[in-house]
Structure 1
Amino acid sequence: MSENLAVGATHASPLPMIRSYRVLLDTLWIIVLAIYVLAGTLLVPFHGDESTLLSLTRDYANLFILNLPERVRFNDTPYDPGAQYLRLINGSLNIYGMGLAWQVAGFSVNDINDQWDWGAGWDYNQQNNHAPTPELLAATRWPGALFTAAGVAAMFALGMALDGRLTAYLASLYYALNPAILLNGRRATLEGSTIFFGLFVVLAGLWLLRHRTWWTAIALGIVSGLALASKHTNLFAVGAVFAACALYPVLLRTEHRNLMRYAAQVTFAGILTILTFYALNPVWWDGNALERGLLILRLRQDLLQDQVSIFGG
């Protein structure tokens, strides 16, 4: 009896140990790439958009420090017309992250610069409070950089979900070495959270398609709302994922009873997306939501036309 047990122990399956080593290797890979992304945060050249978006972090102070939400909500005669324009056309999520960063770093709202003046030169902006101090800029770059670094894990998980470990390694390596991601994702702008939650939306959509549980529907709804609150252009990713989630089971001719339950989950995810976005965007709280959306679309079209007129395109 004891000999049989010994033989059984000798021939125990090595699979659990192999899986453990793989998980450890995967984790180390993600950590190393994330550290690489973070390591260059303070080396990236300054961009005027950083100054403009940093000026908008006064919204964080008005909401969470000064308790003056009326300054952030939409108004036909706004407290600061320039700031209202900026909050209408930009996302809010990383604005709050940047505000929290300068608060933790010991800065106050009085230290915040005004938006960059694109019609003036470098010296004028530096001398007239249109540019942040190096210390303030450094502090407010970290939230976006952390989101960008977390995107390594999101990309790895996407690769694993789509085509296995080799794809996960190649995709995450490409992500971490991509110059455009490293340049823009490390800045005090909206790109870090936009990239991270854009990837997470696709991942959550895959989870919902495969598992069809209420928890995956909740995950899709929340991350989709966060993606839209990061930057409005994430609407394309969110819309594509919801379209895929809605049409895929129909194309597979899923049984009617299961299809109705799944349709309820997708609908709930859509409602949760809207609620999450609204919660993070006080400028949408008052008035007609459709009119607000059309106003933002018009403002973005005007901005794009101005940029084409000035820079060509």
Structure 2
Amino acid sequence: MVIDPSLEPENLRVIAQDNELSADLLAALKDHPSCWPGLRAWVEYVQVTGEHPPLPPIVYIQPADEPTAGSTISRGFPLKRLAVIAIAAALVVVLILLWQVVGQRNSSPQAIAEHEPSPTTPPVSTDTVFASGKGFMCLAKDASITCLGANNLGQLGTGKAGTENIHHFELSAPVEHLVAGSDFACASTASSITCWGDNRWRQAGDKSDQILSPTVIELFAGKPVDDLVAGAIHACALSEGKVWCWGSDYYGQLGSGTQGSLASGPTALSLDSASFLLSSDYSTCAGVKDALVCWGSNESHRLSAQDVPILVPTVIKDE
């Protein structure tokens, strides 16, 4: 079977979604020039297991041998992607303006008089943190969180799919870290982690519900949270030098080194003395002493020169 080589990733996704997945069709999808790494891994999983997990999101990759001369718009970065970025930027501006209005209301002479701290009360932090997902974004100031955008998977923290485009809620303490995956988000205070949104891969917590309202992850209750990151469908946290990850291990994001469980609660990695975390869609790195240790998808050697598709926690060297 041959699929028209001029078809785009969107067409491949429709073909995979709407047709019976015969062995010939799977092979043709995998070998197609527009097949992105996520779809290739999905095809291999179907070929090995016979199971049909949800299709991965489309990732556009710039062809190395066909740059677009004289333009910053390439085949790997289409106009509609620029439109999405423009919309996201506009949403950020709306959030900032909204927060300024709230701040102005709270800065009136009457409000200041009502809330002026006593001389012995330390000032409350005015730091604001932002995070953006695939079609939504969230802003946190002190213990208050505002999310704006798509809510088809409860991304705004409503606990259910809906048509509203903005939602406010409060945590029990000021937010220190705020991160977002494709369709979920997590926030940490000094001693807790709360997540909400899409939970089909348990990326929003160790619960079976497919959509979560803001829910505390019990493992971290009372633990200091030193760092927090999110990939597309997984998240990781750092506490007292130790690293935990949860969500999908389909690309080894939880450190298994294999194509692991599609959904998993918090899993401890065999790392000590970590000091920070970094994350991309399907991989994570931790600073450990003077080294950078990374794990997850190694498609196209994106993490290491090792010829393996999934990397166990490995010290990354300049090779």
Q: Which of the five TM-score ranges fits, normalised by the shorter chain?
A: under 0.3
Greater helix proportion = 1
Larger-gyration structure (1/2): 1
More strand by share: 2
Provide the TM-score with structure 1 as the length reference: 0.27
Please report the TM-score for the alignment, with normalisation by the length of structure 2. 0.27
